[in-house]
């Protein structure tokens, strides 16, 4: 079974204290290590990256400070905690840090190619609506390489049947033209080994019906 941690954040009562920061770091570490302890941990994503755009203060009055960047888009020590739990390096010295915030996932040190040659062998796509409400839904999509050769760079396409729209996606570059959705790999998940898989997901909107889409293809090869 694939396992993913999604929409992760750890809120605290404000104002933020050093003791609460320590507890928060422990919770993040425990959750990340729990996923990594599973052989098929396919991803860990955060609910945004900065306290500036967090949903928490508008829902939980007097609480916040849940994410690794503060409201001024500066990294907190929590960033290094997350990096260490993932087995990566801590932040570089402040003088060498980029001025723009990096992504909230940790890519491998060698990025696979992002071009999309034809898939070798077969593919299988699993499409699962994990939650749904009156105007929206969240879906997890898994691409499996059922062939004998790795897929180096992928383009996934499908067609919605009820006018659904993708509103926000992760672990892929999403575009939509009418009913057709196209997703291309990002730098850290472009290679799918033979017998392996990669997962992505999105939030969407719907009205009336939310049927499973049709016509799944990877690099123009029809998938089961």
CA distance 81 to 24: 10
Q: What is the DSSP string of 156-183?
A: EEEE-SS--EEEEEESSEEEEETTEEEE
φ, ψ of residue 16 to 5 degrees: the values are -65, 140
**Each residue's pLDDT tens digit, 151-193:** 999 999 999 999 999 999 999 999 999 999 999 999 989 999 9
Query: Tokens 């007097």 identify what position?
Result: 62
**Each residue's pLDDT tens digit, 193-216:** 999 999 999 999 999 899 999 889
Residues of the chain above pLDDT 90, percent: 68
- Taking each continuous run of H as one helix and of E as one strand, the counts in the chain are 3, 15
Q: Is 57 helix (H, G, I), strand (E, B) or coil?
A: helix
CB distance 64 to 56 below 8 Å: yes
Read off the pLDDT of each residue in 84-112 and give the average, rounded to a whole number. 57
Strand partners, 142: 126, 199
CA distance 75 to 177: 36
Query: Does pTM top 0.75 for this prediction?
Result: no
Residue 113 has pLDDT above 80, yes or no: no
Cis peptide, bond prior to residue 13, ω within 30 of zero: no
CB distance 125 to 145 below 8 Å: no
Beta pairing class for 41-46 and 3-8: parallel
CA distance 205 to 198: 24
Question: What pLDDT is stored for residue 58 in this prediction?
Answer: 87
Sign of the Cα torsion 173, 52, 138, 130 reads positive
């Amino acid at each position: 079974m694939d396992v993913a941690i999604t929409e992760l954040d750890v809120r605290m009562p404000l104002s933020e204290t050093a003791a609460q920061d320590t507890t928060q770091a422990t919770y993040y570490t425990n959750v990340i290590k729990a996923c990594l302890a599973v052989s098929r941990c396919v991803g860990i994503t955060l609910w945004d990256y900065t306290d500036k755009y967090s949903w928490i203060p508008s829902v939980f009055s007097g609480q916040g400070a849940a994410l690794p960047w503060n409201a001024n888009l500066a990294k907190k020590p929590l960033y290094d905690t997350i990096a260490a739990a993932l087995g990566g390096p801590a932040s570089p010295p402040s003088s060498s840090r980029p001025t723009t915030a990096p992504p909230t996932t940790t890519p491998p040190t060698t990025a696979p190619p992002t071009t999309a040659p034809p898939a070798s062998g077969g593919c299988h796509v699993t499409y699962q609506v994990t939650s749904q409400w009156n105007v929206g839904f969240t879906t997890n999509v898994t691409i499996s390489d059922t062939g004998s050769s790795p897929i180096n760079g992928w383009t996934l396409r499908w067609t919605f049947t009820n006018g659904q729209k993708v509103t926000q996606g992760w672990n892929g570059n999403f575009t939509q033209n009418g009913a057709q959705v196209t997703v291309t790999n990002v730098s850290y998940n472009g290679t799918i080994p033979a017998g392996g898989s990669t997962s992505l997901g999105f939030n969407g909107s719907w009205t009336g019906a939310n049927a499973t889409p049709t016509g799944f293809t990877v690099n123009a090869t029809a998938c089961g």
